Structure 1
Amino acid sequence: MPLRDLSIGLGVIIIWALNVIVIKVGVADIPPLLLTTLRFSLVALLLVPFHPVARHQLPFLVLLSLTFGTLHFALLFIGLDQAEAGTGALLVQMGTPFATLLAVIVLKERLGFRRLTGLILSFAGVMVLAGGPTLPAPLPTALLLTSALGWAISQLLIKRGPNVPPLALAGWVALFAIPQVALGSWWLERDQLAALGDAGWIGWGAVFYTAVMSSIVAYGAWYGLLRRHPVNRVVPLTLLVPVLAVGLGVLLLGDSLGPHKLIGGGLVIVGIGLIVLRFRKRGGTPRRAS
């Protein structure tokens, strides 16, 4: 990969790692479901007018708005409101093992020894985290793991669904998710108007960052890399996201960094690495993912 594209890829990873920190500080200023509603509104406003989709794609996008918009993003924002940023980032990375399991169950994909080992290590890492003091209470832990499951289900739907350009998909999923999360905010949260009036630059900055930087700029650059390079050269960079998120949580938010987080997080990352990385046989012949 040329140095320019590698720099772009690392820039995207930094944006996504910072996104975890931004969400964490943003939900301290604006309630999480209200913040999610504002994020989706800005994404839809900036993308939908410029990325039309075919009418027959709308049911698929509505379904994806449930799994990706509400189940993944809304629960991510709520969970990070009650968890350390680094621990939350590690738990959400479980979307990759969940997606692998779903592919085996639903798509009947073969689960080789390497990916099976990765699954075992990933879940072992979560168990180690569960034994440490940094794991949030059972409810936010369940919310973050359910958010990861929502991401995994969404990847399966995207793989099996119609071919929608990435930015069009992001915009229309956001549009259809707006009433869902807005209703959740109305039902579960209080004093939304007062929260908007009291929100400072951190809260509104979080809306801008999560919508523009994380959703539009980062994903646009990421899909550009995927078009120019093999997937197995680009996707492994995402393993750096939880590592950077943990480090940023320690540096910027004062999160703890105990042995449970180091060992459990390490197991999760190594396990995911075994799932997503492709190794070469001797002689340089690429090996197919199991």
Structure 2
Amino acid sequence: MTNRDRLLGLTVVLLWGLNFLAIRAGLDQFPPFFFVALRFLVIAVPVVLFVPRPNVPLRWLLLYGTGFGVLQFAFLFWAMSSGMPTGLASLVLQASAPMTVVLGALLLGERVNRRQVVGIVVAVGGMVTIGWDRFAHAGLLPLLLTLCGAFGWALGNIGNKQARADSPMRLMLWMTVVPPLPMLALSAVIEGPTAGWEALGSAFDADGLPALAGLVYIVLLGTIVGTGLWTRLMSRYPASTVAPLSLLVPVVGIAASWVALHEQPTVTALCGGVVVVGGCLYGMTRPRASAGPAPAPATVSPPTPAPARV
């Protein structure tokens, strides 16, 4: 991965880490399933009207949209509305990174080198440390729901990778067309046919402005910019190279929740964050080639003359 693409990956980390604060603001106003539908609907409508569909197999577009858009956020928003702390949600969701690497190896035959394995194991160890330290802040159900969301993200990564889009941005935009209808149907059945729309109608008063600001952030920065850059990276590099970057998201998410929501982390959680960063950096960087004697120049033998034709 080039230094420029590493910088783009770290930009995604920052945007997605802060995205959890926007999600929390939105969930204070909207029912979770309706909020999932709404965040994609406001992008999907202009996309269908003005953006040409990418030339990719439909099955991979559907897998990308279902995994990344439907499963990930349906389970994540459900978990956070059921009591999952914002910072802890940003951590547990990154279980998608090792899940993506495993799925990439099993389904796509991608090779994982020893340095990447060590880096992921170290980073996951840091995540486990933080999760164990903060487990008391969340019940078992929210934790399991968030892990289901992480698996959905991993499936979406595989669909993204297999689509092999010549225009990653168009692929990302058309991914947003998949979630709205199934999520609106799920919201109507579980949350009630009018609950979400009533919440949207009351969001334009003073109390609802934070939720609308959160929606704008999620749509513009979290989805269009963040997911667009992520899709580009996934299209250019193996899943095992890009996915570990997401392990840095909880460091930003926990820090932002500490400042904005007063979810103060313990010393153990902070130490776990340092381990996560260290593991990611180790897995992403290549070892320097050891200096050694320069290879001897190859000796070129003169060509053997071809036999004469009679």
Q: Tell me the TM-score normalized by structure 2.
A: 0.76
Give the Cα separation in 2 of the matches to 1:104 and 1:274: 20
Report the Cα offset of residue 178 of structure 1: 0.9
Q: 1:62-84: CA deviations, max 9, x gaps?
A: 23222111111222222333222
* Pairing partner for 2:259 from 234, 248, 251: 251
Report the Cα offset of residue 114 of structure 1: 2.4
Structure 1 window deviating more from structure 2 (158-167 vs 88-97): it is 158-167
The answer as to whether partners of 2:119 and 2:283 remain within 8 angstroms in 1 is yes
The answer as to whether partners of 1:85 and 1:245 remain within 8 angstroms in 2 is yes
Which residue pairs with 1:85 in the alignment? 86
Report the Cα offset of residue 283 of structure 1: 4.8
Which residue pairs with 1:156 in the alignment? 158
SS of 2:29 mapped into structure 1: coil
The answer as to whether partners of 1:97 and 1:122 remain within 8 angstroms in 2 is no
Q: Evaluate the alpha carbon distance shift between residue 35 and residue 283 of structure 1 in structure 2; reply closer, same or farther with a 3 A threshold.
A: farther
Matched, 1:276 2:284: yes
Report the Cα offset of residue 259 of structure 1: 3.2
Q: Evaluate the alpha carbon distance shift between residue 97 and residue 45 of structure 1 in structure 2; reply closer, same or farther with a 3 A threshold.
A: same
The answer as to whether partners of 2:71 and 2:152 remain within 8 angstroms in 1 is yes
Report the Cα offset of residue 253 of structure 1: 0.6
The amino acid of 2:160's aligned partner reads I
Q: 1:86-120: CA deviations, max 9, x gaps?
A: 22112122221111112222233344332332343
Give the Cα separation in 2 of the matches to 1:14 and 1:133: 22
Which residue pairs with 1:193 in the alignment? 197
Report the Cα offset of residue 41 of structure 1: 0.4
The amino acid of 2:256's aligned partner reads L
Which residue pairs with 2:307 in the alignment? none
Higher Rg of the two aligned structures: 2
The answer as to whether partners of 1:26 and 1:202 remain within 8 angstroms in 2 is yes
The amino acid of 2:261's aligned partner reads L
The answer as to whether partners of 1:43 and 1:212 remain within 8 angstroms in 2 is no
Q: Evaluate the alpha carbon distance shift between residue 60 and residue 111 of structure 1 in structure 2; reply closer, same or farther with a 3 A threshold.
A: closer
Matched, 1:44 2:48: no
Give the Cα separation in 2 of the matches to 1:214 and 1:56: 24
Q: Evaluate the alpha carbon distance shift between residue 140 and residue 67 of structure 1 in structure 2; reply closer, same or farther with a 3 A threshold.
A: same
Which residue pairs with 1:287 in the alignment? none
Aligned residue pairs total: 283
The answer as to whether partners of 2:169 and 2:232 remain within 8 angstroms in 1 is no
Give the Cα separation in 2 of the matches to 1:225 and 1:151: 15
Matched, 1:102 2:103: yes
The answer as to whether partners of 1:53 and 1:164 remain within 8 angstroms in 2 is no
Give the Cα separation in 2 of the matches to 1:163 and 1:26: 32
Matched, 1:209 2:217: yes
Which residue pairs with 2:16 in the alignment? 16
Give the Cα separation in 1 of the matches to 2:216 and 2:9: 21
Structure 1 window deviating more from structure 2 (151-160 vs 116-125): it is 116-125
Q: 1:251-276: CA deviations, max 9, x gaps?
A: 00111211342233344443344443
Give the Cα separation in 1 of the matches to 2:216 and 2:286: 36
1:120-269 aligned within 5 A: 120-134=121-135, 135-163=137-165, 165-190=167-192, 191-199=195-203, 200-220=208-228, 240-269=248-277
The answer as to whether partners of 1:86 and 1:249 remain within 8 angstroms in 2 is yes
Give the Cα separation in 2 of the matches to 1:164 and 1:186: 37
Q: Tell me the TM-score normalized by structure 1.
A: 0.80
SS of 1:132 mapped into structure 2: helix
Q: Evaluate the alpha carbon distance shift between residue 71 and residue 279 of structure 1 in structure 2; reply closer, same or farther with a 3 A threshold.
A: farther
Give the Cα separation in 1 of the matches to 2:162 and 2:236: 23
Q: Evaluate the alpha carbon distance shift between residue 225 and residue 254 of structure 1 in structure 2; reply closer, same or farther with a 3 A threshold.
A: same
The amino acid of 2:150's aligned partner reads A
Give the Cα separation in 2 of the matches to 1:189 and 1:103: 36
Report the Cα offset of residue 85 of structure 1: 1.9
Q: Evaluate the alpha carbon distance shift between residue 266 and residue 93 of structure 1 in structure 2; reply closer, same or farther with a 3 A threshold.
A: farther
Q: Evaluate the alpha carbon distance shift between residue 130 and residue 238 of structure 1 in structure 2; reply closer, same or farther with a 3 A threshold.
A: closer
Structure 1 window deviating more from structure 2 (101-110 vs 9-18): it is 9-18
SS of 1:148 mapped into structure 2: helix
The answer as to whether partners of 2:54 and 2:171 remain within 8 angstroms in 1 is no
The amino acid of 1:114's aligned partner reads R
Give the Cα separation in 2 of the matches to 1:227 and 1:154: 13
SS of 2:88 mapped into structure 1: helix
